[in-house]
Amino acid sequence: MDALDKKILSLLQQNATLPVAEIGERIGLSSTPCWRRIQKLEADGVIRRRVALLDPAKMNVGVTVFIAVRTNHHSREWLQKFQVAVQDIPEIVEFYRMSGDIDYLLRAVVPDIAAYDSVYKRLIERIELSDVTSMFAMETIKSTTELPVSYAP
Give the residue ranges of the chain where pLDDT is below 50.
Answer: none
Q: Is there a single domain that holds both residue 13 and residue 74?
A: no
Q: Is the dihedral of CA 3, 9, 15, 16 positive or negative?
A: positive
User: What is the tally of structural domains in the chain?
Assistant: 2
pLDDT digits (tens, 9 = 90+) for 74-104: 899 999 999 999 999 999 999 999 999 999 9
Q: Which domain holds residue 123?
A: 63-136
pLDDT at site 45: 97
Query: What CATH number is given to the structural domain containing 123?
Result: 3.30.70.920
3-state secondary structure of 148: coil
pLDDT at site 96: 98
Q: Is there a single domain that holds both residue 80 and residue 26?
A: no
Query: What CATH number is given to the structural domain containing 35?
Result: 1.10.10.10
What separation in angstroms does the CA of 59 have from each of 30, 39, 84, 109, 129?
A: 39, 32, 25, 10, 30
pLDDT at site 73: 86
pLDDT at site 130: 87
